[in-house]
Amino acid sequence: MLLVIVVYWVLVVAGVFGFDDGGPDGTDASEATGAAGLMSGLGLGGVPAAIAVSLLVTVAWFASLVGGTLFTGTPALVAVLLGALLCAWACTRLVVVSLRRLIPKERLPSRADFVGRACVIRTRRVGRDFGQAEVTSADGSSALVQVRQTGDEDFAAGSTALIFAYDSPGEFFWVMPYDAELDPDRPI
């Protein structure tokens, strides 16, 4: 097994395999399947399964090597193997818990991501108390959002505006006039 782990990591470093097995999975055992589900069930989730399995095999190999050197005989061999598995699980768990703190959590999208983006007005007017606009997020999806303005500009349906702030108590965006030709995200 240690040879398989070494060959796998050599191939990853050589670029034959990509190290993209889903990345850190914050899922629990009820949501995860396959190797990630098994690792989560053993308390080794939260890091890529390849790292957890590699640590588990390496520590088990080393512990069984040390145990086999210190103890001889058939009854001792079974105890060494069980002890090596227990030692591998405990050591791997300690390392995985430490690694979980180092791996950044996935950033969830928020409404504040729309601030600074251009939008297209979808209602006949936008005032201090009413208005809607369509805005496109960085991933290409669009959303219909509530917008308000502070001035007396005329926003007609189809005009372009710039979102410059988000009002969380009112759950709407503040907009101002914007020339669509200046939008760096517009298609050419």
- Read off the tokens for 49: 């399964």
pLDDT in tens, 63-95: 999 988 888 777 788 889 899 999 999 999 999
Does the pLDDT of residue 181 top 80, yes or no?
A: no
Q: Give 115's contacts (C-beta < 8 A, 6+ positions apart).
A: 163, 164, 165, 166, 173
Helices (H), ranges, the chain: 2-14, 34-41, 49-70, 74-102
Q: How far apart are CA 124 and CA 135, in angstroms?
A: 16
- Per residue in 24-75, pLDDT (tens digit) is 444 443 455 666 677 778 888 888 888 888 999 999 999 999 988 888 777 7
